[in-house]
């Protein structure tokens, strides 16, 4: 348990004690929030809890702050000072730092991983790109964010499944087949008509060429409808395999690949529509079937089955979300592009109409990515003249940099991706800066071994008492930062915010580099040398844990 959590529990317990004794009256306590004061003379941690509680209870905040501080029982607390209108500044005993570092060292690579009191079963569905062509950089941001969120939620102690929804039914797949067919005929010198909504990428030409390479012109002899059906399956299989390959190269793995086509094959769409019609939440009008979504705050009712009997995308999505909920997930999280923002109310309306709590669905909206090089916006691929693909980005800047840059900003913020910065090997490149901290620590241990120091035995001999020689400001800052890591995991998981882990890793790396420049490690007094080796070992494992959540490697050499 991190120090902020311990402080929150101590303050709440003291406040409840004061309330029982009649110091104040309040039905619901406000949340306790702690921050680290910018100036050390104001303590290690501070909270405005007494001011918030006093406002709700209509009492004097300084008097309430004093009453709470008088009732706090914590062996690690040196003192509490009341400041200003009712701030509570907490000063901790020095020993707590060394006890914290000892716990970090004992936890090793598991420091930061939490055990949830009641683990939730959570599904995260992300990317879910149409299997009609290569992934682009927008898909890359969703892939990096989604996989990092899965890792983060697992680190917070939850049971998490990552899912890809394969859009393998509908017009886009028919257009894929028609596009491949047109290129097939074109390559064989036959008359062709390219579909109006076809796919113009070079990958379509390559698919058609591979069909010719394997089977020549044999498909010219079959009926158009049969050839289109064959090409649909061939192209879908190829595109889906390429999509999986790109994602695996980007360190993105899915537990479930869910086929939209399976919903049609199981008649799940019609079954769901029948169920909602019986419940009175779907109705016929002008030959079409409509969802009564205005009953759930949507701005208008939505067509589910067109008047020609063809389901809309919403029909499949309703059946799909019904299936998700029937699989028993406590929470389902979808990561959608910015153009899907208006789609949220109608899906939530359908969930509510089916009798489920719509709050079980969370949607993270992902904003656009803009690539910049030499200070100029990059819109087109140098290779194809079309949009930049994820594969090209990985080739340009590497997987680690691409993943980190995609994750380091919150999902709801526009991302300006600086290609030159991502490739640079300087401290201005945040991923390089963090990875260099890990590699630098590995180098320290190699130097120690070369100097004849048995680092394994030295670390085994470390005790809380022996760590007390770590009293330099840079050392204390490192321990405090690492001590806050479990709380950061909990907060980031609750907020669905992997970017907080990226920021934490960058801040920890910065504190380490400051420590490294100020404090010699090898060749100082033996007890200080051992304690500092223990300190940097803890930093290394914490950095490694954070990078693992982000899906970024932790190199030993750079």
H or E segment at 313?
helix 313-326
Work out the burial of residue 216: count CB atoms within 10 Å of its CB; fewer than 13 is exposed, 13-18 middle, 19 or more buried: exposed
SS3 for 58? coil
pLDDT for 6: 87
Write down which residue in 48, 68, 93 finishes a domain: 93
Helices 399-407 and 526-550 sit at what angle, rounded to 10 degrees?
Answer: 80
My answer on whether 258 and 138 are in the same domain is yes
Q: Within 13 A of 429's CA, how many CA atoms are on the CB side?
A: 19
Please report whether residue 7 resides in a domain. yes
Percent residues over pLDDT 90 in the chain: 88
385 has a pLDDT exceeding 60 = no
Please name the residue that has the structure tokens 């990096």: 144
My answer on whether 531 and 447 are in the same domain is yes
| Core vs surface per residue 292-326: b (16+ CB within 10 A) or e | bbeebebeebbbbbeeeeebbebbbbbbbbbebbe
Which residues partner with 378 through β-bridges? 371
Sheet containing strand 77-83, strands side by side: 34-35, 45-47, 87-92, 77-83
User: Measured between alpha carbons, how far is 407 from 548 in angstroms, rounded to an integer?
Assistant: 13
What is the band of 19 on the pLDDT scale with cuts at 50, 70, 90? very high
Encode pLDDT of 27-65 as tens digits: 899 999 998 888 888 898 999 999 999 999 999 999 999
User: Measured between alpha carbons, how far is 407 from 141 in angstroms, rounded to an integer?
Assistant: 7
My answer on whether 470 and 388 are in the same domain is no
pLDDT for 49: 97
pLDDT for 465: 87
384 has a pLDDT exceeding 70 = no
SS3 for 246? helix
pLDDT for 103: 93
My answer on whether 11 and 27 are in the same domain is yes
Encode pLDDT of 312-358 as tens digits: 999 999 999 999 999 999 999 999 999 888 899 999 999 999 999 99
Please report whether residue 275 resides in a domain. no
Please report whether residue 397 resides in a domain. yes
Residue 83, both tokens = 């400041």
Range(s) of the domain holding residue 520: 427-550
Strands 121-125 and 159-166: parallel
My answer on whether 86 and 130 are in the same domain is no
My answer on whether 130 and 187 are in the same domain is yes
Nearest alpha-carbon partner for 288 in 302, 275, 268: 302
Please report whether residue 213 resides in a domain. yes
CB-CB contact of 531 with 469 (8 Å): yes
Which residues partner with 369 through β-bridges? 415
Please name the residue that has the structure tokens 């509908």: 170
pLDDT for 128: 95
- The pLDDT of 219-238, averaged and rounded, is 94
My answer on whether 73 and 86 are in the same domain is yes
Which one-letter DSSP state was computed for residue 41? G
CB-CB contact of 317 with 303 (8 Å): no
396 has a pLDDT exceeding 80 = yes
Q: What is the pTM of this model?
A: 0.91
SS3 for 311? strand
Which one-letter DSSP state was computed for residue 339? G
Residue 145, both tokens = 């964010």
Residue 219, both tokens = 């498909």
User: Measured between alpha carbons, how far is 352 from 359 in angstroms, rounded to an integer?
Assistant: 9
- Domain at 252, CATH number: 3.40.50.620
Nearest alpha-carbon partner for 112 in 55, 157, 74: 157
- Domain at 450, CATH number: 1.10.730.10
Query: What is the SS3 string spanning 495-536?
Result: HCCCHHHHHHHHHHHHHHHHHHHHCCCCCCCHHHHHHHHHHH
552 has a pLDDT exceeding 90 = yes
Helices 485-495 and 526-550 sit at what angle, rounded to 10 degrees?
Answer: 10
- The pLDDT of 209-222, averaged and rounded, is 94
421 has a pLDDT exceeding 60 = yes
User: Measured between alpha carbons, how far is 513 from 506 in angstroms, rounded to an integer?
Assistant: 11
Helices 499-518 and 485-495 sit at what angle, rounded to 10 degrees?
Answer: 160
Work out the burial of residue 89: count CB atoms within 10 Å of its CB; fewer than 13 is exposed, 13-18 middle, 19 or more buried: buried
- The pLDDT of 421-427, averaged and rounded, is 97
Please name the residue that has the structure tokens 């501070």: 46
My answer on whether 238 and 384 are in the same domain is yes
Please name the residue that has the structure tokens 């300084």: 62
- Distances in Å between the Cα of 357 and the Cα atoms of 83, 189, 277, 333, 340 are 44, 57, 19, 14, 21
User: Measured between alpha carbons, how far is 199 from 271 in angstroms, rounded to an integer?
Assistant: 33
- The pLDDT of 187-212, averaged and rounded, is 93
My answer on whether 151 and 255 are in the same domain is yes
Number of folded domains in the chain? 3
160 has a pLDDT exceeding 90 = yes
My answer on whether 258 and 382 are in the same domain is yes
My answer on whether 458 and 546 are in the same domain is yes
pLDDT for 467: 95
Comparing 80-84, 90-94, 106-110, the range with the smallest average pLDDT is 90-94
- The pLDDT of 524-538, averaged and rounded, is 97
- The pLDDT of 276-289, averaged and rounded, is 95
Please report whether residue 480 resides in a domain. yes
pLDDT for 277: 96
- Domain at 19, CATH number: 3.30.1360.70
Handedness of CA 539, 540, 541, 543 (dihedral sign): positive
Residue 181, both tokens = 């067919």
- The pLDDT of 155-166, averaged and rounded, is 98
Query: What is the SS3 string spanning 251-310?
Result: CCCCCEEEEHHHHHHCCHHHHHHHHHHHCCCEEEECCEEEECHHHHCCCCCEEEECCCCC
What is the band of 71 on the pLDDT scale with cuts at 50, 70, 90? very high
My answer on whether 399 and 494 are in the same domain is no
Please report whether residue 355 resides in a domain. no
Sheet containing strand 256-259, strands side by side: 256-259, 159-166, 121-125, 331-337, 361-366
User: Measured between alpha carbons, how far is 289 from 293 in angstroms, rounded to an integer?
Assistant: 12
Please report whether residue 378 resides in a domain. yes
Please report whether residue 313 resides in a domain. no
């Amino acid at each position: 348990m991190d120090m902020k959590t311990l402080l929150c529990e101590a303050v709440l317990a003291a406040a409840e004690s004061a309330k029982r004794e009649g110091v104040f009256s309040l039905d619901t306590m406000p949340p306790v929030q702690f921050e680290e004061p910018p100036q050390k003379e104001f303590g290690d941690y501070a909270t405005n809890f007494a001011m918030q509680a006093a406002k709700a209870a209509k009492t004097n905040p300084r008097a309430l702050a004093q009453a709470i501080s008088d009732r706090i029982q914590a062996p690690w607390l040196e003192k509490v000072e009341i400041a200003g209108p009712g701030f509570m500044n907490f000063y901790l005993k020095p020993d707590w730092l060394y006890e914290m570092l000892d716990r970090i060292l004992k936890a090793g690579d598991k420091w930061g991983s939490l055990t949830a009191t009641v683990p939730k079963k959570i599904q995260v569905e992300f990317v879910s790109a149409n299997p009609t062509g290569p992934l682009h950089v927008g898909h890359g941001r969703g892939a990096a964010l989604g996989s990092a969120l899965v890792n983060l939620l697992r680190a917070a102690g939850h049971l998490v499944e990552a899912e890809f929804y394969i859009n393998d039914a509908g017009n886009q797949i028919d257009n894929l087949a028609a596009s491949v067919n047109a290129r097939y005929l074109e390559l064989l010198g036959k008359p062709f008509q390219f579909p109006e909504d076809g796919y113009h990428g070079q990958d379509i030409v390559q698919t058609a060429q591979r069909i010719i390479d394997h089977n020549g012109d044999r498909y010219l002899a079959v009926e158009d409808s049969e050839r289109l059906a064959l090409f649909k399956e061939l192209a879908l299989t190829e595109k889906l395999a390429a999509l999986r390959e790109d994602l695996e190269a980007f360190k993105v793995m899915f537990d479930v690949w869910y086929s939209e086509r399976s919903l049609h094959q199981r008649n799940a769409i019609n079954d769901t529509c029948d169920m909602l019609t019986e419940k009175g939440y779907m109705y016929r009008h002008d030959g079409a079937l409509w969802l009564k979504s205005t009953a759930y705050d949507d701005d208008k009712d939505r067509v589910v089955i067109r008047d020609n009997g063809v389901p809309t995308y919403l029909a499949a999505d309703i059946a799909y979300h019904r299936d998700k909920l029937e699989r028993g997930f406590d929470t389902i999280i979808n990561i959608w592009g910015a153009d899907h923002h208006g789609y949220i109310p109608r899906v939530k309306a359908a969930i509510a109409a089916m009798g489920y709590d719509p709050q079980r669905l969370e949607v993270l909206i992902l904003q656009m990515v803009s690539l910049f090089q030499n200070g100029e916006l990059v819109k087109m691929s140098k290779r194809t003249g079309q949009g930049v693909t994820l594969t090209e980005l990985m080739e340009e800047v590497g997987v680690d940099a691409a993943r980190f840059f995609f994750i380091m900003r919150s999902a709801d913020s526009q991302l300006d991706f600086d290609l030159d910065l991502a490739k640079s090997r300087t401290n201005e490149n945040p991923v390089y800066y963090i990875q260099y901290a890990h590699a630098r620590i590995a180098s320290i241990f190699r130097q120690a071994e070369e100097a004849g120091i048995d680092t394994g035995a030295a670390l085994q001999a470390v005790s809380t008492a022996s760590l007390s020689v770590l009293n330099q400001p840079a050392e204390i800052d490192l321990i405090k930062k690492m001590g806050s890591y479990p709380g950061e995991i909990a907060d980031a998981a609750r907020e669905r915010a992997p970017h907080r882990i990226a920021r934490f890793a960058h801040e920890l790396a910065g504190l380490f580099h400051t420590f490294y420049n100020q404090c010699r490690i090898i060749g100082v007094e033996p007890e200080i040398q051992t304690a500092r080796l223990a300190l940097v070992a803890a930093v290394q494992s914490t950095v490694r844990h954070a990078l693992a959540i982000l899906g970024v490697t932790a190199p030993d050499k750079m």
